[in-house]
Amino acid sequence: MIERYCTAPVRNIGNDHVNGHIGFLCYMLWDIFVLYPGNSSAAMMEESVGVMDSAIHSQNDQCITSAIHSLGHWVREVHSARRVLNRWLRSPTTTNAVVIDYAKIAKTGYIL
């Protein structure tokens, strides 16, 4: 997907824009996505979380961070979002402590 464009290391979530506009788009993808809890069916929300679940298992820290960011927006309304984060935290696909800490924060619903 966008992995080949968003390649910079993640050092400071929410403030890193070293990939320029495409990096910002990667990070904020789910903020600009038109489907969000409250405006679609439960089935559509679950499918969306399924896409986020796939993205969080990337080997690319930028894509993982994007998925974490989106799941953090959804944890209060879509219970499977928190389950995805918890499962990923048990076996993260990165060793980047910044990304792992961000996932822990995202479980609360409070994200950058």
Given a contact cutoff of 8 angstroms between Cβ atoms, the answer to whether 46 and 10 are in contact is no
Q: Which has the minimum average pLDDT: 15-19, 45-49, 59-63?
A: 15-19
pLDDT in tens, 55-110: 899 998 988 988 998 899 889 888 899 999 999 999 999 999 999 999 999 999 98
Please indicate whether residue 31 or residue 105 has the higher confidence score (pLDDT). 105
- Cα dihedral 62, 76, 81, 12, rounded to 10, equals 20
Under a CB-based contact definition with an 8 Å cutoff, are residues 110 and 72 in contact? yes
